[in-house]
Amino acid sequence: MKIHVVTISLFLFALGCSPEYASRTVGPEGPGAEGPDSPDSPDTPDTPDGPGTPDKPDIIEPGPAPDGVHLETCGAEQAWWTEHDDWFVDEGFLGISPNGGLLVRTSTNGSNTAFRLRDGEPLFAVEQRLQEGALAQDWRVHGEFVQDGQEVRLAIKQLITGTVVQSVAMEQQNIPRVVLSSDVSTALIAGCRQDVLTIQTWSLSSGDLGERIELADGCDDFSWYPTLPVSLAADGKTAVVGGRKAGDLIHVDLRTAEWTSVTAHPEDMEPGPFYGGQLLSAAIRPDGTQAVTAGHDGKVRVWNLPELELVREFSSRMVVLNLDSYQPSAGSAVSWSPDGRLLAHLDEEANVLVRKTSDWSVIYRIERPVPEDPQNFGGEEFVENAPVQMAWGEDMKSLALSFDRGVALWRCEADWARGNGPLSVRLDGPDTARVGEPVTITATHFGEANLHGHTFLLNGEELGLGGTTRDLRWTPAQPGNHELTVVVEDGLSEGSATLQILVR
């Protein structure tokens, strides 16, 4: 087996077939172009948890042990578990806010909720449909595809206000994904066009779209869930993309547009309806040196980059989601910690293993919480309360997990983050109103703003669960003096403001 390397330009690429686990670098002349020979690709490890090739290191040392409280050394325990029954399960989004006050879980068709991180109390609804990778690291802006008449646009919106900062028209494509670089200078757009997997960069500083790169026939146009695997290195220079249907892992150097692929999870079994193909998830290590994949074959594999050499393989579990719906799907979550020192994935029983990347040893085995009302769908593929998504705290003291029946937090024994005093807010609206005529009340937050919710009260009674929307549309039903109050909270601090309205 040979690897062919050719000169790359930002135009059309074509992908050919190659043996299992054979990586290939592809350019405009295709995989048949002549080039220098490269060593044979590594063999599959002899044991399920064995190392890769002896001549290639399978450990990339992350440096000395961290100082202070860190998940790697602290012996974290479960802090809380909050159960929910009404979620329509998909990969969605799970994240811990930069201020350390909130855990946010959103899904396509289910409950979108912000929980207080320290105790799991649901605080408010999140109206935005967040997507993994599309939220800026500081949670100021996020990317979202919006329908504008007959036109589809990718919009960069302020998270709190929903104001569109920048947008660009996109050609129609299936399963679109957008991932923002950590400095929010570049958006990476991936999607399926006529069963072809494509990526494209968008410079948020200049507003220019890069040339579209066609990677592989790796899309299933009728796959609703899970979403297309796309992961960007912290420096925004390289990315990995998953070709679900063929089981390909594709590594792209965004500086040169050179891309290399490997059949990470071969087609050794027929996926069920809507299961999304052979490759279920993929993530690049933050420093860009390795990638991890999970597949329909029940394996988690670690790859050195950019060579795409297999260095580790672990037994895992594919979990079926939405078994009781008309849109079933499968998943197998994987996640690197922000500092790259830890890797989390599912084991054969669909519990979560956390490994040190310094020696791949398991430091945590997190068993699934037991719901109060098990569903008992039955069948070998069904896993009760399956893990769906993982999220790390930037301070490396917390690991959050979402399941199909709720969310849970594992945390080091450490002080919780603290707020900076009361939040400053003003409530604006009319002084008078009439019965039956709607009025709009607007809450305005002052000062440094983290993601926060607004809970409105009428004469001391809450008007339902709060939300990120800062406007209240209120139709008075009774005459007299009424007091409207808003309480804003970001998980650490809160503030309030009151408005008196005379209703005639």
Is the pLDDT confidence value at 154 over 60? yes
Q: How confident is the model at residue 289 (pLDDT cuts 50, 70, 90)?
A: very high
- Decide if 441 is inside a domain: yes
pTM (two decimals): 0.83
**What local confidence, expressed as pLDDT, does residue 67 receive?**
66
More confident residue, 462 or 370: 462
CATH number of the domain residue 469 falls in? 2.60.40.10
Residues 175 and 306 in one domain: yes
pLDDT at 119 over 80: yes
Q: What is the pLDDT of residue 44?
A: 37
How confident is the model over 355-376, as a mean pLDDT? 85
Q: 447 Cβ partners below 8 Å, 6+ apart?
A: 423, 424
Q: Is it the case that residue 241 has pLDDT exceeding 80? A: yes
User: Would you give the DSSP letter of residue 442?
Assistant: E
Residue 148's pLDDT is 77
Confidence check: pLDDT of 359 > 90: yes
Work out the average pLDDT over 113-142: 89
pLDDT over threshold 50, residue 287: yes
Do 459 and 380 share a structural domain? no
How does residue 445 score in pLDDT terms, banded at 50, 70 and 90?
confident
Domain membership of residue 184 (yes or no) is yes
From 369, 390, 365, 346, select the one nearest 81 (Cα to Cα).
Answer: 369
265 shares a domain with 158: yes
* Residue 111 domain-assigned (yes or no): no
Tell whether 343 and 298 lie within a shared domain.
Answer: yes
Q: How far is CA 350 from CA 106, 115, 290, in A?
A: 22, 24, 23
List of residues 6+ apart from 32 with CB closer than 8 A: 4, 16
The reply to whether 122 falls in a domain is no
Question: In whole angstroms, what is the distance from residue 15 CA to residue 25 CA?
Answer: 9
Same domain? 406 vs 470: no
6-48 per-position pLDDT tens digit? 222 322 222 233 334 445 444 433 333 333 333 333 333 333 3
Mean pLDDT rounded to a whole number for the chain: 79
| Boundaries of domain holding 444 | 424-503
Burial of 491 (0-12, 13-18, 19+ CB in 10 A): buried
Residue 247: inside a domain, yes or no? yes
**Are residues 395 and 471 located together in one domain of the fold?**
no
285 Cβ contact partners less than 8 Å away, ≥ 6 residues apart: 60, 233, 291, 292, 305, 336, 340, 357
Q: Is 118 among the domain residues?
A: no
| Statement to judge: residues 454 and 345 lie in one domain | no
- pLDDT confidence of residue 266: 81
Predicted pLDDT of residue 60: 59
Residue 175 falls within a domain, yes or no? yes
CB 405 within 8 A of CB 322: no
Task: Return the HEC string of 294-352.
Answer: EECCCEEEEEECCCCEEEEEEECCCEEECCCCCCCEEECCEEECCCCCEEEEECCCCCE
pLDDT of 326 strictly over 60: no
**Are 404 and 388 in contact, with CB atoms under 8 Å apart?**
yes
Pick from 22-36, 254-268, 342-356 the range whose average pLDDT is largest: 342-356
Q: Find the CATH number of the domain harbouring 184.
A: 2.130.10.10
- Neighbouring CB atoms inside 10 A of 207's CB total 10
Same-domain status, 450 and 401: no
Same domain, 449 and 388: no
The whole-number pLDDT of residue 58 equals 61
Which of 378, 411, 444 is the C-terminal boundary of a domain? 411
Q: Which of 194-198, 220-224, 381-385, 450-454 has the lowest mean pLDDT?
A: 220-224
Q: Please check the confidence at residue 405 and state whether its pLDDT lies above 90.
A: no
Q: Do 480 and 386 sit in the same domain of this protein? A: no
Helices (H), 8-161: 71-74
Indicate whether 391 and 448 sit together in one domain: no
Last residue of one domain, picked from the residues 381, 411, 441:
411
**Residue 49 in contact with residue 315, Cβ under 8 Å?**
yes
Rg (CA), the chain: 24
Q: What is the pLDDT of residues 469-486, one digit of tens each?
A: 889 999 999 999 999 999
Other beta carbons within 10 angstroms of residue 80's beta carbon come to: 18
Does some domain include residue 101?
A: no
What burial class does residue 413 get, using C-beta atoms within 10 Å of its C-beta: 0-12 exposed, 13-18 middle, 19+ buried?
exposed
List the single range of 326-340, 434-448, 457-471 with lowest mean pLDDT. Answer: 326-340
Both 382 and 309 in one domain: the answer is yes
Give pLDDT, residue 240. Answer: 94
Q: How many domains are contained in the chain?
A: 2
CB burial of residue 394 (10 Å; 0-12, 13-18, 19+)? middle
Q: 247: pLDDT confidence band, cut at 50, 70 and 90? A: confident
Of 389, 411, 433, which residue is a domain's last? 411
Percent of the chain with pLDDT strictly greater than 70: 74
Nearest one of 137, 211, 241 to 180, comparing CA atoms:
137
What strands, in cross-sheet order, belong to the sheet with 299-304?
279-284, 290-295, 299-304, 309-315
